[in-house]
């Protein structure tokens, strides 16, 4: 089997401020194979977003960040040589954000930003070629008038349109890995569903691997091949999507599943904020080990 | 109508209203302040008859409202009255002194923009590191020291101890003023092809303009820095980085331009404030500008001249604000395209 496009082994992360150190990740391991769609699910503050930021090498150089363990992105070591990741950002690994409208620079036309994206990693492309490629990419995400969209500012387009633009930008350079950090959470639910379906179609047809970060289990269920559940900086359960949803074994996963709103029998579920059982050790479903473990096991 | 044009017309209308308000205010304030302008103008030895004659000629015995009526009638004909001190029409005096001040203020303003903005940009880019600490310290020192103190310090260091620059004046002795077209010696000498005069004028400008600009440079650096640092936290900058935009391109373009929008409005006010600040610097450098003229006419209760000077300075403030609004609306597409969005 080929090397995974994202491999995280025993990752520890802590932030130090003055004499105070806060540990955020306690030995997270996960992997995403080429073309695979993997979800990382957990509540806010569980450490899902920082994992993505570490994969993009966006945190390593910040002051007071203590990183230990391995993060390997398409064969580049993000923990020890973040500069290498900086060179592959935007074309071999890209990212989609929560709120597309605030992720696009408000005082520049979408066309200019798109050209910059196409030039990521020092790729040489002329203004005219970039324009043509951008129009084509926007047409692929079903934007009705690509030329007009490129001449627009983000505030002139709807949130859904901006999300389509974001998806087009994320996939324009045919990356091996796409990090989707709660994509479209800021959009309304129907538009979010539409754009997620679009993203799903696009990555499937292009064979792009995705690390999908979310707190929304129903979205994950439709989208992901495999799921990692993260709780307070630790992976607590890992399995194929069907395994995890039909047979949730970890107390925290079960709590998370019961927290999903139901159509019938409404009302908010009574969920404990914390329970000692949530700290139970990692549960791995059959056939889902980390790549290195399989060799030793 | 084009939104930018509409905005400018709106602002222009408001500016005119402000100008009318200022004229009323200064007209009455100048007259309410005690002291007889005719007596001051003619001196203590003049006869009471001469003073009375002057009061009558200048309508100073009429009720204030009537006086204001005379003033408005003259103003409509472009006449601001006659100075009791120079005995020339106020418009002539202003035309003679204003260019010197404007030249000084423009050069200082250019320094403020060309040095302050890049300094703030670099400080933000290297925030909390060496260059930032150095720039912030320098900026605080620059902001906290009044312009006339800088004037004296610069004179002492660069004109007296190390006589690199001239101590005072607009031109060296023996250098004739260039033919007056704009009244800016640098521009006039260039247009007349007198390069020696040009360099002499420029040479004389450097110290007073620097003294006037230093606090503005510090202020604009501080504003740019804080606005840039705020912009750096925005999701669209995170996006630029996630997509591998080069860091110096982000700093020069993608973070700089959004950060400029809130900064510019305040800088416009700072720039206009230089006009008023200039009078102490003009005093220190014996610069024949409007501010010096303004101080002298106020001390002499030279009514027409006071009103004229204040009106001109107020008009400069308003014009500066208008220009800043125009620049901001060009940078900020939300203003420029406000209408198109409403339609679609």
The sheet that has A209-214: what strands, in order across it?
A93-96, A177-181, A209-214, A37-41, A226-231, A234-240, A283-284
Question: Does position B340 have pLDDT exceeding 60, yes or no?
Answer: no
My answer on whether B271 and B137 are in the same domain is yes
pLDDT confidence bin for B225, thresholds 50/70/90:
very high
Is the pLDDT assigned to residue B60 strictly greater than 80? yes
| Same-domain check for residues B59 and B132 | no
Structural domain harbouring B62:
3-76
Indicate the pLDDT class of residue B17, thresholds 50, 70 and 90.
very high
Contact B254/A105, CB-based, under 8 Å?
yes
Q: Which residues of chain B make contact with A116, given a CB cutoff of 8 A?
A: 240, 243, 245, 249
Q: What pLDDT sits at residue A270?
A: 64
> A209-214 and A177-181 as β-strands: parallel, antiparallel, unpaired?
parallel
- Can you give the pLDDT at residue A266? 57
pLDDT of residue B221: 93
Domain presence at residue A230: yes
Considering the domain boundaries, does residue B309 fall inside one? no
The Cα A246–Cα A265 span in angstroms is: 20
Residue at B324 is within a domain? no
Q: Are residues B108 and B23 in the same domain?
A: no
Boundary residue ending a domain (B17, B42, B76): B76
Q: Please answer whether residues B337 and B2 qualify as being in contact, where contact means their C-beta atoms are separated by less than 8 angstroms.
A: no
Torsion angle of C-alpha atoms B274, B279, B283, B285, degrees rounded to 10: 30
How many residue pairs bridge chain A and chain B with CB atoms within 8 Å of each other? 73
> What pLDDT, in 10s, does the model give residues B20-38?
999 899 988 888 888 888 8
B131 and B200 part of one domain: yes
How many whole angstroms separate alpha carbon A65 and alpha carbon A59?
Answer: 7
| Interface contact B6, partner A, CB < 8 A | no
Contact A216, A258 (CB under 8 A): no
Cβ of A107 within 8 Å of Cβ of B257? The answer is yes
Domain check: are B173 and B62 in the same one? no
Domain with residue A236: its CATH number is: 3.40.50.300
Alpha carbon separation from A72 to A77, A172, A200, A208, A224 (Å, rounded): 5, 23, 24, 17, 21
pLDDT at A108: 94
CB A242 within 8 A of CB A265: no
- The first and second tokens of residue B48, run together, are 């009471």
Decide if A288 is inside a domain.
no
Q: 């005082």: which residue's tokens? A: A107
- On whether the CB atoms of residues A179 and A96 are closer than 8 A, the answer is yes
User: Where residue B198 sits, what CATH number does that domain have?
Assistant: 1.10.3720.10
> Taking Cα atoms as reference points, which of A41, A31, A48, A37 lies closest to residue A224?
A37
CA A108 – CA A120 distance, rounded (Å): 17
Q: What is the pLDDT of residue A262?
A: 62
Q: Of B52, B76, B100, which residue sits at a domain end? A: B76
B197 and B251, same domain (yes or no):
yes
pLDDT digits over B164-210, tens only? 888 888 888 888 888 877 888 888 888 888 888 899 999 999 999 99
Among all residues of chain A, which has the CA nearest to that of B253?
A: A108
Quote the pLDDT of residue A264. 61
Q: How far apart are CA A244 and CA B202, in angstroms?
A: 78
A170 inside domain = no
Residue B326 has pLDDT above 60, yes or no: yes
The residues of A whose Cβ lies within 8 A of any Cβ of B are 56, 58, 63, 86-91, 94-95, 97-99, 102-108, 116-117, 120-121, 153, 155-156, 169
B238: closest chain A residue by CA: A103
- Of the three residues B19, B51, B76, the one that is the final residue of a domain is B76
Distance CA B114, CA A64 (A): 35
Are B166 and B174 in contact by the 8 Å Cβ rule? The answer is no
Separation in Å, CA of B330 to nearest CA in chain A:
10
Whole-number Cα distances in Å, A106 to A110, A113, B237: 9, 10, 11
Does this complex have an ipTM over 0.85?
yes
Other C-beta atoms within 10 Å of A58: how many?
20
More confident residue, B59 or A170: A170
- Region B223-228: what's the mean pLDDT? 94
Residue B173 lies in a domain: yes
Q: What percent of chain B has pLDDT over 70?
A: 98
Q: What is the pLDDT, as a whole number, of residue A184?
A: 80
| Structural domain includes residue B221 | yes
- Chain A within 8 Å of B243 (Cβ-Cβ)? yes
Question: Between B236, B258, B344, which is nearest A103 by CB?
Answer: B236
Q: Is residue A296 part of a domain?
A: no
Q: Are B244 and A156 in contact (CB < 8 Å)?
A: no
Q: Are residues B96 and B45 in the same domain?
A: no
Question: Are A107 and B332 inside 8 Å of each other by CB?
Answer: yes
pLDDT in tens, A19-50: 888 888 998 999 999 999 999 998 888 888 88
Q: Which residues of B touch A102 (CB under 8 A)?
A: 234-236
Domain presence at residue B337: no
pLDDT of residue B240: 93
Cβ-proximal residues to B201 (8 Å cutoff; 6+ apart), any chain: B170, B171, B178, B185, B186, B189
With respect to residue A193, please indicate whether it lies within any of the assigned structural domains: yes
Q: What is the pTM of this model?
A: 0.83
What are the distances in angstroms from CA B65 to CA B22, B34, B70, B73?
A: 16, 18, 9, 12
Q: Which residues of B touch A86 (CB under 8 A)?
A: 244
Residue B93 near residue B293, CB atoms below 8 Å: yes
Query: How many structural domains compose chain B?
Result: 2
- How many structural domains compose chain A? 1
What does the pLDDT read at residue B179? 82
CB contacts of A99 in chain B (<8 Å) are 235
Task: Enumerate residue ranges in chain A where pLDDT < 70.
Answer: 1-2, 260-272, 292-297
Does B305 map to a domain? no
Q: Tell me if chain A has a CB within 8 Å of the CB of B232.
A: no
Yes or no, beta carbons of B236 and A102 under 8 Å apart:
yes
Q: Residue A23: left if φ>0, alpha if ψ -120 to 50, beta else—which one?
A: beta
Given a cut of 50, is residue B341 above it in pLDDT?
no
Give the residue with greater pLDDT, B87 vs A104.
Answer: A104
DSSP-based three-state secondary structure for A37? strand
Name the phi and psi angles at B27, rounded to 5: -60, -50
Three-state DSSP at A76 gives: strand
Q: Is residue A109 part of a domain?
A: no
So what's the pLDDT on residue A265?
A: 58
In chain A, residues with a C-beta closer than 8 Å to the C-beta of B128 are: 63
Distance CA A182, CA A98 (A): 5
As a whole number of angstroms, the distance between CA A75 and CA A92 comes to 11
Residue A227 φ then ψ, to 5°? -135, 135
Considering the domain architecture, whether residues B142 and B55 belong to the same structural domain is answered as: no
Query: Are both B95 and B192 inside the same structural domain?
Result: yes
Test A153 with B340 for CB contact under 8 angstroms: no
Q: How far apart are CA A70 and CA A77, in angstroms?
A: 7
Whether residues B294 and B236 fall in one domain:
yes
B25, B32, B79, B100, B121 from B94: Cα distances, Å: 20, 24, 12, 10, 38
Same domain as B100, residue B221: yes
| Residues B186 and B248 reside in one and the same domain | yes
CB B141 within 8 A of CB B215: no
Whether A58 sits inside 8 A of B239 (CB atoms) is no
Is A284 inside a domain boundary? no
In a domain, A131, yes or no: no
How does A80-103 read in b/e, with b if 16+ C-beta sit within 10 Å? Answer: eebebbbbbbbbbbbbbbbbbbbb
Which residue range forms the structural domain that includes residue A232? 6-99+184-278
B238-273 pLDDT, tens per residue? 999 999 898 899 999 999 999 999 899 888 888 888
Residues of A in contact with B249 (CB under 8 A): 116
Name which of A87, A104, A156 is nearest B236 (Cβ-Cβ): A104
Write down the pLDDT at residue B338: 65
The answer to the question of residue B198 being in a domain is yes
Q: Is the pLDDT of residue B61 over 80?
A: yes
pLDDT recorded at residue A271:
66
Q: B197 with B175: CB under 8 angstroms?
A: yes
The SS3 of residue B47 is: coil
CA–CA distance, A32 with A224 (Å, rounded to integer): 11
- Number of Cβ within 10 Å of residue A64's Cβ equals 12
Would you call B333 an interface residue with chain A, using a CB distance cutoff of 8 Å? yes
Quick check: is B37 in a domain? yes
* A40 class by beta-carbon count within 10 Å (0-12 exposed, 13-18 middle, 19+ buried): buried
**Tokens at residue B253, please?**
């373009």
Pairwise CA distance, residues A4 & A177, whole Å:
10
DSSP H or E run through A10: strand A6-17
Would the CB atoms of A156 and B234 count as touching at under 8 Å? no
The answer to whether A210 and A167 are in contact (CB under 8 A) is no
């Amino acid at each position: 089997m080929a090397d995974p496009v994202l491999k995280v082994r025993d990752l520890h992360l802590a932030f130090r401020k003055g004499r105070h150190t806060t540990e955020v990740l306690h030995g997270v391991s996960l992997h995403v194979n080429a073309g695979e769609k993997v979800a990382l699910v957990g509540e806010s503050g569980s450490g899902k977003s920082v994992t993505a930021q570490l994969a993009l090498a966006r945190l390593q150089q910040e002051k007071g960040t203590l990183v230990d363990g391995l993060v390997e992105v398409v064969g580049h070591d993000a923990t020890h040589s973040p500069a290498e990741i900086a060179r592959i950002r935007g074309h071999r690994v890209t990212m989609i954000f929560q709120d597309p409208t605030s992720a696009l620079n408000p005082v520049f036309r979408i066309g200019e930003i798109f050209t910059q994206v196409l030039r990521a990693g020092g790729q040489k492309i002329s203004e005219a070629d970039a324009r043509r490629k951008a129009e084509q990419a926007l047409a692929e995400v079903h934007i009705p008038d690509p030329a007009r969209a490129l001449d627009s500012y983000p505030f002139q387009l709807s949130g859904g349109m901006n999300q389509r633009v974001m998806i087009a930008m994320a996939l324009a350079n045919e990356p091996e890995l796409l990090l989707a950090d709660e994509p479209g959470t800021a959009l309304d639910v129907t538009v979010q569903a539409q754009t997620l379906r679009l993203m799903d179609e696009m990555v499937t047809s292009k064979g792009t691997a995705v690390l999908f970060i979310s707190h929304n289990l129903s979205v994950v269920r439709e989208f992901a091949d495999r799921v990692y559940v993260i709780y307070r900086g630790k992976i607590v359960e890992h399995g194929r999507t069907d395994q995890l949803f039909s047979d949730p074994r970890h107390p925290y996963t079960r709590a998370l599943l019961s927290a999903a709103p139901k159509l019938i029998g409404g009302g908010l579920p009574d969920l404990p904020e914390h329970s000692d059982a949530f700290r139970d050790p990692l549960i791995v479903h059959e056939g889902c080990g980390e790549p290195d473990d399989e060799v030793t096991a | 109508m084009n939104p930018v044009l509409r905005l400018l017309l709106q602002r222009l209308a408001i500016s005119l209203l402000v100008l009318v308000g200022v004229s009323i205010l200064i007209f009455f304030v100048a007259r309410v302040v005690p002291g007889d302008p005719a007596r001051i103008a003619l001196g203590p030895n003049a006869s009471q008859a001469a003073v009375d004659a002057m009061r009558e000629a200048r309508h100073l015995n009429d009720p204030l409202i009537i006086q204001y009526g005379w003033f408005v009638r003259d103003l409509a004909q472009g006449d601001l009255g006659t100075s009791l001190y120079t005995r020339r029409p106020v418009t002539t005096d202003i035309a003679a002194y204003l260019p010197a001040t404007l030249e000084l203020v423009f050069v200082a303003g250019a320094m403020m923009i060309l040095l302050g903005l890049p300094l703030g940009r670099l400080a933000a880019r290297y925030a909390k590191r060496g260059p930032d600490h150095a720039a912030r310290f320098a900026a605080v020192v620059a902001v906290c020291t009044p312009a006339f103190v800088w004037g004296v310090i610069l004179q002492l260091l660069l004109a007296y101890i190390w006589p690199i620059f001239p101590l005072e004046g607009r031109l060296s002795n023996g250098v004739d003023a260039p033919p007056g077209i704009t009244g800016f010696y640098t521009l006039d000498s260039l247009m007349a092809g007198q390069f020696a005069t040009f360099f002499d004028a420029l040479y004389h400008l450097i110290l007073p303009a620097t003294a006037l600009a230093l606090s503005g440079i510090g202020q604009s650096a501080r504003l740019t820095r804080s606005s840039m640092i705020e912009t750096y936290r925005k999701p669209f900058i995170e996006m630029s980085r996630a997509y591998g935009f080069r860091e110096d391109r982000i700093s020069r373009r993608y973070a700089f331009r959004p950060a400029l929008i809130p900064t510019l409005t305040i800088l416009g006010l700072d720039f206009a404030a230089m006009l008023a600040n200039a009078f102490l610097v003009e005093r220190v450098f014996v610069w024949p500008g409007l501010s010096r003229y303004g101080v002298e006419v106020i001390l002499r209760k030279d009514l027409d001249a006071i009103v004229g000077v204040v009106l001109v300075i107020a008009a400069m403030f308003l014009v500066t604000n208008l220009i800043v609004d125009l620049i901001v609306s060009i940078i900020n597409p939300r203003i420029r395209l406000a209408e198109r969005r409403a339609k679609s």
